[in-house]
Structure 1
Amino acid sequence: MTTRPELDVTDTADWAGRPLGEREVSWEARDAILFALAVGAPADRLDLVFERDLRVLPTFALTLAQWAPDVVGSAGGWDVGTALHGSQRLEVLAPMPAAGSTLMTARVGEVWDKGGAAVFEIVVECDYVRATWSIFAPGRGGFGGERGPGRAPGPEGDPATTVDWDIAANAAALYRLTGDHHHIHIDPVAAERIGQPRPILHGLATLSGAVLAAAFAQGASPADLTLLEGRFSAPVFPGESVCVPVWADGSFRVDTERGTAIDGARAVFA
C-alpha cells in the first residue's frame, strides 16, 4: 500500500518539510539473506545468512526505503541524470525481524543552498529505523537559503586497525536485486555515459560492506549496529580490493587505489 501526496513544487526552497507519503513494505528471510550476501557477508556467518537464527543487517532497511528519494526525483526536485547521493545516516531504533512488514513514512527535511547546487535531506522513518539521505543536486542552488553544516573533521590519530576487503566481482549484480536497478551498476554503456570505465558498485552496498568490516574489526556483530553515517566521495568497482581503516571510536574510511571512496564515516554498535 502506497500513499503519495500531490507534489507540484517549482521553487527549490519550497521542498523543505514536504511530506512524501508513506508505504507499507514487507520482506522475507530470503530478502535479508540476499542483501547480506550482496554486501559481502561470509557464508559461514550463519547468523547473517541462515534463516534458522537469522539476524537482519540494519542497513537492509535502506533498500526498503529507496522509494522515498525516488519520489522527489520523479517529481522534478532534481535532475535524476546529475544528482548524486552525497551522504547517508541511519539510526537504528529496534531490530528487524527475519520476516515482516512495516509502514514507512517519508518527508523532505532541510534543503541547503550550496550556491551552484542544493542539498536535499530525505528522511524516512518506521518502527525500526530513521534514515536520512543527503542528495547533492547541481543547478538547484542559488535560492537564498542557508548553506547548512560544513564537512565534519576526520578522525584524529592513527586507526586502531585496517581491514582489507576484496569486493566480489558480482557484488553489483547481486545488490541490484535488492531494489536499486539503476543501469550504471550493470550496463557498461550506462557507466560510460557518466564517465566511468565500467559499472560501479552502489554506494549503499559499499557502505554496508564497510559496516561488516568495521564490526569484525571491533569484535562486534554487524547486526548490533545502532548508528551509521558516511559521505560518498568516489566510486568503487566490483571485483576490486579496498581497505577500511577503523578507529577506536567507530570512525572508518573506505580507501581504493585511486583515493578515498567513503569518508566522514562512523559505525556504532550496541
Structure 2
Amino acid sequence: MPIDVDKLLSYPIPTVRQRLSRQDAAFYALSVGMGQDPEDPRQLPYVDFTKEMTVLPSMALVLAHPGFWLGDPRSGVDPTQVVHGEQALTLHHALPVDTDLVSETTIEEVVDKGVGQAALLYTRKTLKDADSGLLIASTLNTTFIRGGGGFGGTGAQPKASLTMPEGEPDYVVDLPTRPEQALYYRLNGDHNPLHADPEVAAKAGFARPILHGLCTLGMVCHALVRSLCDYRASHLREMSLRFAAPVYPGETLRCEIWRDGSFRAWVVERDVLVIAQGRCIAGTAG
C-alpha cells in the first residue's frame, strides 16, 4: 500500500552520539567476517583491540546509527516492504577509536514510482567528531519501499548505469559467510527482524532470514581493502554500489575487483549477482 509521505517527511529521525571504542571496532570487523584466517597478520589490527587499531572504513555506515526507524508505525511505512537499494560512502578522515562521534540523518528526497510500484527514499547521514565538529564521513542511502508508490509524489530522472570494465577482473576474493552472521551483525544497531525472524522473512517473500545489505557491503569493503589497499584502510576514500539480490547467511561471497576501482559480487552457491554497479576510489585505483 502507498506510504504516508506526510508521516515519513515529518518523522523525527534521532541525532545519535556514540563513542567508538576499540571493542566496538573489533566486533564490527568480526561481524563482517574479518579474522577468519588466523594466519593472516594483516587482519589483526582490525580485530585485536589490545593493540593499535585500524577501523574498517565501512563501519562509518553503522556508527551512531539511528536504528531501524522505518519500523516505527509513526514513519508511515510498512517495515516488511523495506529493501536496501543503493549505498554510497565517502571517508573524509580515518575513523578514530576512543572518540565520541555524532550523526545527523536527513531525508533528501522521496520518489513516487507509481501505483503498485516502489517508493524510493533517499537519506543522507553525516558523521562528525562530537567535540571538534570535524566531518569524518558522509553516506547516501537509497531505500526501496515495495508497493509504497502511488502517494501522489513525482518521479525522478533515472540514474545512468555504470559500465563495468571489459575482460576478467584483476582480483577475485572469495569470502564465506557464517550461518549465524546476521544475528551477530544486527548487534551493530540494525534490529530489522527480517534478518532474524523466519516468519517475518517469509512474509517479505524470502525463504529464510537474509543477511543485512550493509553486512554484505562490509564484506565487500574487506575485499577492496585487501586487494587495492594492502589492508591500509586509509587508502579507501569512497565506495558506492547497488544491491542486486540478497545473501543468505552461510553462502559464499565472490568479489570481482578491477584495478580502476570497479567491482561486483556474486553468491557462489546460487550463481546470483548480489552487488552491482560497484565503484571505489582507493590508493592504488586509477
Considering the TM-score relative to the shorter chain, is it more than 0.5? yes
Give the structure 2 partner of residue 29 of structure 1.
Answer: 22
What is the CA deviation profile of residues 70-110 of structure 1, one whole-angstrom value per residue up to 9, with x for unaligned ones?
A: 26854324221212111111111111212221221121112
User: Retained in 2: the 8 A contact 1:85–1:135?
Assistant: yes
Q: CA deviation at 1:22?
A: 2.1
User: Retained in 1: the 8 A contact 2:119–2:149?
Assistant: yes
Distance in 2, matches of 1:177 and 1:136, equals 23
The within-5 A match list for 1:1-270 is: 10-11=4-5, 15=9, 20-42=13-35, 43=38, 44=41, 45-51=43-49, 52-67=51-66, 70=69, 74-115=73-114, 116-127=117-128, 128-142=136-150, 143-158=152-167, 159-221=169-231, 223-224=233-234, 225-256=236-267, 257-270=270-283
SS at match of 1:229: strand
What's the % identity of the aligned pairs? Answer: 30
**AA aligned opposite 1:184:** L
Distance in 2, matches of 1:240 and 1:23, equals 33
Unpaired segments of 5 or more residues in structure 2?
Answer: 129-135
Q: CA deviation at 1:14?
A: 8.4
Q: How many correspondences in the alignment?
A: 261
**AA aligned opposite 2:237:** T
What is the CA deviation profile of residues 222-263 of structure 1, one whole-angstrom value per residue up to 9, with x for unaligned ones?
A: 622211111112111121112111112111111112411111
TM-score of the aligned structures, taking structure 1 as reference length: 0.86
SS at match of 1:239: coil
Q: CA deviation at 1:63?
A: 1.5
User: Retained in 1: the 8 A contact 2:209–2:248?
Assistant: yes
What is the CA deviation profile of residues 129-187 of structure 1, one whole-angstrom value per residue up to 9, with x for unaligned ones?
A: 11111111234334242323335223121222221222223321221121122223233
What is the CA deviation profile of residues 163-212 of structure 1, one whole-angstrom value per residue up to 9, with x for unaligned ones?
A: 12222233212211211222232333332332322221111001110111
Aligned CA distance change for structure 1 residues 200 and 151 (closer, same or farther; 3 Å) = farther
Unpaired segments of 5 or more residues in structure 1?
Answer: 1-8
SS at match of 1:216: helix
Aligned CA distance change for structure 1 residues 192 and 222 (closer, same or farther; 3 Å) = farther
Distance in 2, matches of 1:74 and 1:67, equals 15
SS at match of 2:202: helix
User: Retained in 2: the 8 A contact 1:27–1:99?
Assistant: yes
SS at match of 2:62: helix
Distance in 2, matches of 1:215 and 1:173, equals 24
**AA aligned opposite 2:222:** L
Judge which range, 188-197 or 119-128, deviates more.
Answer: 188-197
Q: CA deviation at 1:268?
A: 2.2
User: Retained in 2: the 8 A contact 1:69–1:133?
Assistant: no
Aligned CA distance change for structure 1 residues 68 and 168 (closer, same or farther; 3 Å) = closer
